[in-house]
Chains A and B, each alone.
Chain A
Amino acid sequence: MRRKAAFFLLTVFAVFMLSGFTGTFTEGSTNYVYDEAHLFSQAKIDELNEYITSVRDKAKSDFLVVTTNEPEYDDEIEAAEAIAHAWRDAGNGYGKDHQVIVFYIDIKNRNARLMEYNDREKWRLSDSEIDEINSYILNDMVNGNYGTAAGKAIQGAAECAKPGFFERIWGWITVGIAGGGAASGIALGTHNAKTTTPVRYYMRDQRVYTGRREDQFTHTTTVVQPKQTNPPTSGHSGGGSSGGSISSSGAGHSSGSHGGSIHF
């Protein structure tokens, strides 16, 4: 109970604290890059904005890149969520679900988080995809190539966020055609199997009468097969996984958003 109350108060506090930041989001914003930490060149910012503008319709998602060197939160998870909520509260976000994917860099604490938000918690990015993107950009983040990392993160997220087969009209049409074709095919294929009358039908009593029987033994053939001795049963070790994990935090779920963090 105490934990829940504390979490509630923390959330209220977080929203309050972030109110200054959210002021930068305006309704119908076409600016998707907020580089408060000045990690990107203007050319990179333009490039990212241009790229996001070009892919948001295909991916059916907004993309936000936010950097800061003066975070209101030490916890990048809460910060990214607060950004997503603020973006949504400003009337932004793609579609009626206010779908947005946020790439947040806290350069002070050297944390980054790729996070997805929508009203219905209908995720376009899976946890494994987020982990994959994080591991893909880890080296760039460690080496200080933040612009490249942000570009890769957004590009990877845009690729993964594309609507699935059942979310696209061509998917529905394909399923419809397949269903229609199957229904028509079944209707066409339900011809009666044709059976013809075998000659045996005309045989009296459908059987032969055997008068003479002669069975004569001729010879025996012998085959000798050596028996195989079974090798000792080898114990199978369990299929354990190997390899280390990247320095990324596990994908955490919370109401309306999910994502994964990296520490660099």
Chain B
Amino acid sequence: MIKTYKCPGCGASLIYAGGTEDLKCPHCDRTVPVSEIAEQNNEAEVLAAGRAEDESRDNAGTNVREFQCPSCGAALVTTDHTSATQCAFCGAPTLIESRLTGEFKPGKILPFRFDKAQAQENFKNWKGTGKLTPSSFKSAAVMDKVTGVYVPYWLYSYSCEADIFAEGTRTRIMEGQKERVIMTDHFNVQRTSSAQYRGLPYEASTKIPEETMAVLEPFDYDKLTDFSFPYLAGFQAEKYHFPASEMQERAREAVRQDLINAAVADIDGYESVSLLNANVRFLQEQADYALLPVWTLNYEYMGKNYPLYMNGQSGEIDGELPTSKFKLFLRFAIAFLICFGLAFLFGRIL
């Protein structure tokens, strides 16, 4: 089922206004609460439509699907995982709701905290845009490419316990007339330590490079809210590629290592502590499916693409910008002339 939310005033497509609980009409500025639109959604109806879509999908083996834009009727081409996008012809924010229902329905969503204009400003003022960044980066044409994407995530929470077996040592030194006696007391040290981890995030799609997402984290989970479709209006969204079980072991291993390190570090009263053995038990575990907000900007320079990403909550940015060869040369030339002149003067003074 393809859907756009229409403004009750002028009929234009509504988009979610970042940092608020409203959808806003970009034409007449009318706002509609998210909760009001969410109430109109009938999930059973959406599910049924989704099944019908699945049955009618082509057997060509491609992961490209074609829909009809509900605003202008143009063909809307998406991948199998796309669940919210914009029409390439009329720009209408379009939701493919069936993609985010049933098992793919996110439990939580972290709405964007600021709108596109603010995201554009953040990109322009990013400290990574040094003096060597091409001037075209801040142009309107480039900034218009800023796109908000909800990235599917598994948030793992654990309650776990670790039995730590270690050897601790304490040293005493006795000074004699002719010799020094160093006595080291050895102890078997056992500890049972527990800890809780909340919302360890693992990206469930291949949309954004994993290492980039690691830089963009953390997200403010206090702002997590129950998933509702209207938050997606005006943004792109994907359903997960990897099920929770696929990322589970990596999350567990990360937690296991961290808990052991923290428990060993917590052993006090010894000059040295050597870990001998450790058993970690996971008492409770939970995986929440959530959509987290990321602003993306694909900057093309000299035929090469430079993707940039911004945490839609904190504004943290990651990515690499190209270097303007002209600006680099200019900087070199200025420094060259200054140093050349100084060396010349220095030589004359000598």
Question: Which residues in B have their C-beta under 8 angstroms from that of A204?
Answer: 195-198
Asked if A203 and B340 sit within 8 Å, CB to CB, the answer is: no
Main secondary structure of the interface of A (DSSP, over half): mixed
Asked if B331 and A215 sit within 8 Å, CB to CB, the answer is: no
Given A208-B266, A210-B266, A221-B186, the answer on whether A197 and B347 have CB atoms closer than 8 Å is: no
Residue B90, interface by CB 8 Å: no
User: Chain B interface: which of A42-50, A174-182, A246-254?
Assistant: A174-182
User: Chain B interface: which of A9-17, A102-110, A145-153, A188-196?
Assistant: A188-196
Of B162, B179, B187, B336, which is within 8 A of A226 by CB? B179
Complex: A217 Cα to B189 Cα, angstroms: 9
Residue B262, interface by CB 8 Å: yes
Q: How many residues of B contact A (CB 8 A)?
A: 66
Given A187-B132, A199-B258, A202-B200, the answer on whether A194 and B335 have CB atoms closer than 8 Å is: no
Q: Can you name the residue of chain B whose Cβ is closest to the Cβ of A173?
A: B340
Contact with A along B245-274 (1 / 0, CB 8 A): 000000000110111001100100100000
Asked if B337 and A176 sit within 8 Å, CB to CB, the answer is: yes
Chain A interface residue bracket vs B: 35 or more
Contact with A along B7-35 (1 / 0, CB 8 A): 00000000000000000000000000000
Of A184, A203, A211, A214, which is within 8 A of B335 by CB? A184
Chain B nearest CB, measured from A96 CB (Å): 12
Complex: A188 Cα to B255 Cα, angstroms: 37
Asked if B262 and A187 sit within 8 Å, CB to CB, the answer is: no
Chain A nearest CB, measured from B293 CB (Å): 16
Given A191-B320, A199-B197, A212-B192, the answer on whether A219 and B262 have CB atoms closer than 8 Å is: no
Residue A172, interface by CB 8 Å: yes
Of B188, B262, B318, B342, which is within 8 A of A194 by CB? B318
Question: Which residues in B have their C-beta under 8 angstroms from that of A167?
Answer: 347, 350
Q: Can you name the residue of chain B whose Cβ is closest to the Cβ of A214?
A: B190
Asked if B178 and A122 sit within 8 Å, CB to CB, the answer is: no
Question: Which residues in B have their C-beta under 8 angstroms from that of A7?
Answer: none
Asked if B191 and A188 sit within 8 Å, CB to CB, the answer is: no
Interface residues of A in 152-182 (CB under 8 A from B): 163-164, 166-168, 171-173, 175-182
Asked if A209 and B340 sit within 8 Å, CB to CB, the answer is: no
Question: Which residues in A have their C-beta under 8 angstroms from that of B190?
Answer: 212-216
Asked if B191 and A192 sit within 8 Å, CB to CB, the answer is: no
Asked if A171 and B343 sit within 8 Å, CB to CB, the answer is: yes
Q: Can you name the residue of chain B whose Cβ is closest to the Cβ of A209?
A: B194
Residue B333, interface by CB 8 Å: yes
Question: Which residues in A have their C-beta under 8 angstroms from that of B337?
Answer: 176
Chain B nearest CB, measured from A53 CB (Å): 25
Asked if B344 and A188 sit within 8 Å, CB to CB, the answer is: no
Asked if A208 and B194 sit within 8 Å, CB to CB, the answer is: yes
Residue A222, interface by CB 8 Å: yes
Chain A nearest CB, measured from B153 CB (Å): 13
Q: How many A-B residue pairs have CB under 8 A?
A: 181
Residue B52, interface by CB 8 Å: no
Residue A225, interface by CB 8 Å: yes
Of B162, B179, B183, B269, which is within 8 A of A221 by CB? B183
Asked if A176 and B195 sit within 8 Å, CB to CB, the answer is: no
Asked if A211 and B193 sit within 8 Å, CB to CB, the answer is: yes
Asked if B189 and A208 sit within 8 Å, CB to CB, the answer is: no
Chain A nearest CB, measured from B213 CB (Å): 9
Given A180-B339, A183-B334, the answer on whether A203 and B195 have CB atoms closer than 8 Å is: yes
Asked if A199 and B255 sit within 8 Å, CB to CB, the answer is: yes
Asked if A218 and B188 sit within 8 Å, CB to CB, the answer is: yes
Chain A nearest CB, measured from B9 CB (Å): 43
Residue A237, interface by CB 8 Å: no
Interface residues of A in 113-138 (CB under 8 A from B): 122
Complex: A183 Cα to B132 Cα, angstroms: 12
Residue B217, interface by CB 8 Å: yes
Given A221-B183, A222-B183, the answer on whether A172 and B343 have CB atoms closer than 8 Å is: yes
Contact with B along A63-89 (1 / 0, CB 8 A): 000000000000000000000000000
Given A200-B258, A207-B262, the answer on whether A187 and B199 have CB atoms closer than 8 Å is: no
Question: Which residues in A have their C-beta under 8 angstroms from that of B326?
Answer: none
Chain B nearest CB, measured from A190 CB (Å): 6
Residue B185, interface by CB 8 Å: yes
Question: Which residues in B have their C-beta under 8 angstroms from that of A180?
Answer: 331-336, 339
Asked if B130 and A208 sit within 8 Å, CB to CB, the answer is: no
Complex: A215 Cα to B192 Cα, angstroms: 12
Complex: A226 Cα to B338 Cα, angstroms: 63
Residue B234, interface by CB 8 Å: no
Complex: A8 Cα to B208 Cα, angstroms: 88
Residue B168, interface by CB 8 Å: yes
Interface residues of B in 219-263 (CB under 8 A from A): 254-255, 257-259, 262-263
Question: Which residues in A have their C-beta under 8 angstroms from that of B333?
Answer: 180
Query: Would you list 20 pairs from A and B whose C-beta atoms are within 8 A, ordered by A residue?
Result: A164-B347, A175-B339, A176-B343, A179-B338, A180-B333, A180-B336, A181-B332, A182-B335, A183-B331, A191-B320, A197-B214, A204-B196, A211-B192, A215-B168, A219-B185, A220-B185, A221-B183, A221-B184, A222-B182, A223-B181
Chain A residues at the B interface, C-beta cutoff of 8 Å: 122, 163-164, 166-168, 171-173, 175-184, 187-188, 190-192, 194-204, 207-227
Q: A183-B334, A197-B214, A199-B200 known; 8 other A-B pairs, CB under 8 Å?
A: A166-B343, A175-B340, A196-B215, A198-B258, A199-B258, A202-B198, A213-B191, A222-B182
